[in-house]
Amino acid sequence: MKIGTIDVKVSNISIGVFVFFTLLLIIAAMMDTGIRPHLIWMIPSLFLLLVIPVALNYMSRSQYKDLEPTYEKEAKTVRVRLINESMIGKIVRIEGVVERVHFQFLNRPQYSVADRSGAISVKMFTTPPEDVKVKDIVEVYGQVIRRYMLTGEPVINCVIIRKIDRKP
Amino acid sequence: MTDKPDKLRNNRIYYLEALVPVLAFGSTLSGIALWEAGILSEIQYAAAGSFLASCLLAYLAWYRPRKDIVSLTTPLYGFIFLVTPIDYYQGILLQLFYAAGLTTLVIRLHFRFGAGADDRSHGRKELAATPLRTYVESTRDVLAGLEPAGGRNASMAFLYFAEGEYRKAADVSHAGACHEGTPEPLVRAFGILRQHAELLEKNLPRPVTYQKFLPADAALMAKPLPAADQPDREFDTMMDNALLLLYSAAWHASEADRPILIASQPFANKLLEA
């Protein structure tokens, strides 16, 4: 679904929640007539279960889109193995192959991207415009952060992940 | 050399850890006694000790290399118990449960997050007992004669490289290589690092011919070279060896940089173990 120039995606879990409560409401309304007068606020509430995730996704996507030019300008290309604690806060660019993808169903994908020198975790807090899968060759722009904010190994807080043709 | 201060510091940590349950339970028990004596009018104030115990727990969690977020947030609850009016029996029960929770957390902190405190925060002056320290010690004799200025160049080259400041790392490496009196293996290390830093700065691949250490430098190499038919790995290993040799040189010749070199240990360890 496109709103303006932003491609908005609803996570599977949001759709699942919406479907679950819709079915629950239909069954309850069929079995208990006392519920029917409340449908006037229950049905709009049900749609809010879809509208709120869409609005949140739109807001995060548009913010990421605004950040993209800054990251493309400032990022320094580095090798994965050379990313370390001293680089915390730096904007970097890496190229590599996607080895694993997690949490896509939550719209918070986490990738493991590897180049010739090593692998690193790449966290994204919104959906990327492209559907990135395992074995895709990608370039990643993001900031080096600690995995758990204050502690943990360095990971990349990704702002841009896009497929490229050449080998890393 | 550092055993005695370490032991003293660990003892201090054990005492502080033991103080958490003492404060938490002691405060509630004192509160009961004071209530019975008619001195304490509101039982919520007996939670003052639990609040202090939670602050102490948060302090102990903060000064560890691995931070325990659960322990760090306990003062928030301690403060709520202290300021919220509550009935006598419910208050006592809540405070005792909270004290038991704090005790469990301090035990968990001790065993799961280590007994030692954060190296950087306590100004340690020695490297941790890792293969890196063994390597640094093994190069002491060769690098002992290096001037502090040479050590400073080695330190800056390593640190700029670790921070991803490749242009600066290349410039400092050039200065280091040109500095009079720098031992030959170190000149080669500076040269190798400069070449790698310049390539990384321009995002260029491995050239066909590249700078290498000499066979005579083998005793100073932290990592053995791979087989000759693996030029990519050899190229990377040359860089790792150059960085580790510069780290070692910086450690021996630039004492003022030791705190920051200690902070950069994880990167040096990563290079050594890769």
Domain of A108, CATH number, reads 2.40.50.140
User: CA nearest B158 in A: which residue?
Assistant: A86
B53 found inside a domain: yes
Tell me, yes or no, whether B100 and B174 share the same domain: no
Tell me, yes or no, whether B107 and B135 share the same domain: no
Which DSSP state fits B144? T
- Domain with A140, as residue range(s), is 75-163
Task: Give the rounded percent of residues in chain A with a pLDDT score beyond 90.
Answer: 68
Tell me, yes or no, whether B11 and B38 share the same domain: yes
Tell me, yes or no, whether A48 and A112 share the same domain: no
B140-168 mean pLDDT: 91
Per-residue confidence (pLDDT) for residue B5, from 0 to 100: 52
Contact list, B69 vs chain A (CB under 8 Å): 148
Per-residue pLDDT at B225 exceeds 90? no
Domain final position from A45, A73, A101: A73
Tell me, yes or no, whether B144 and B268 share the same domain: yes
Tell me, yes or no, whether B143 and B266 share the same domain: yes
Contact with chain A for residue B62, Cβ under 8 A: no
Interface with chain B: mutation pick from A78, A80, A85, A153, highest number of B CBs within 10 Å: A85
Tell me, yes or no, whether B136 and B60 share the same domain: no
pLDDT band (50, 70, 90) for residue B8: low
Q: What is the biggest distance separating any 2 CA atoms in chain A, rounded to whole angstroms? A: 65
Per-residue confidence (pLDDT) for residue B120, from 0 to 100: 46
User: CA nearest B261 in A: which residue?
Assistant: A86
- Domain with B23, as residue range(s), is 3-112
Tell me, yes or no, whether B180 and B267 share the same domain: yes
| Nearest chain A CA: its distance from B46 CA (Å) | 33
Tell me, yes or no, whether B10 and B62 share the same domain: yes
Mean per-residue pLDDT of chain B: 87
Per-residue pLDDT at B229 exceeds 50? yes
Per-residue pLDDT at B221 exceeds 70? yes
Tell me, yes or no, whether A68 and A96 share the same domain: no
The domain total for chain B is 2
Contact list, A77 vs chain B (CB under 8 Å): 200, 203
B114-132 mean pLDDT: 63
pLDDT band (50, 70, 90) for residue B9: low
Per-residue pLDDT at A137 exceeds 90? yes
pLDDT band (50, 70, 90) for residue A36: confident
Per-residue pLDDT at B220 exceeds 60? yes
